[in-house]
Amino acid sequence: MINRFKKWFRGKSVSENHESNYEYKGLEKVIGFPISSEHQKLFLRALSHRSIVDNDKYDSIATYERLEFLGDAVLDLIVTEILFDKYPQENEGFLTKLRAKIVRGDTLYELALKLGLNQFLVIGERAVGQGIESSKSVLSDVYEALTAAIYVSYGYERAFDFVSGNLEKFIDFDDIVTKIDNHKSLLMEYSQSEKMELPRYEVLSEKGPGHNKTFHVAVYIGNDIYGEGQGKSKKNAEQMAAKKALSSFSK
């Protein structure tokens, strides 16, 4: 399988002059192992933005985009294996939600920043100064592409060690697990991603004596109610309302 991928990623990627000037030593420190000369072009491709295609020296497939496509799948498998071993008592739903929180763009962007991958990004001359090096989507894609380059060049185990080492060093699993069941937080993230107004919560009614009240809460986005919930505390009722709202968006 690895040999097949190596065939697919052969070909002209960068000029010899550009390749010889690339700072491989710095990248080697980031990934934790030396890059052999036979694999240097592939790693350089993993860090090359599509803006370099404007230069006649480069092929249209000389960027990280194909590697990012492969890296997405490799990363998904690696994180799945890590979570499967780390949480042996949890069900499929929990593992799926946790994996989605880890492999999403925001988390990969943070990993890329912590590793300093923006320092190694190769961009075209016309794109200099446009903020590409700090783009969230670009850096998250580059992390996936770099994972793929490690996988293609050195195999699954090396790629696994790279990703698991990053997660262990930079990711707070307990914090992410807490946020998985925080429906209010998830609804906030969803509304922001969809450029909607922020959710707000209102108590519609309170029933029962002071020591045993039941709260009925609605969550509004704009002027519309998106979910209602009940609970023995306002906080629980708000979580239930947010959960109902999230369910309505998934239909």
The single residue of 68, 141, 144, 238 carrying the catalytic annotation is 144
* Residues 6 or more apart in contact with residue 221 via CB below 8 angstroms: 191, 196, 197, 198, 199, 200, 245
56 is catalytic: no
Q: Phi/psi at 135 (nearest 5 deg)? A: -70, 130
Point out the catalytic residue in the list 19, 65, 72, 76. Answer: 72
DSSP string, 42-109: HHHHHTB-GGGGGSTTS-TT-SSHHHHHHHHHHHHHHHHHHHHHH-TT--HHHHHHHHHHHHSHHHHH
Q: Are 227 and 251 contacting, i.e. CB atoms less than 8 angstroms apart?
A: no
Residue 189 among the catalytic residues: no
Q: State the Cα angle at 97 between 94 and 102, rounded to 5°.
A: 120
- Residues marked as catalytic: 72, 144
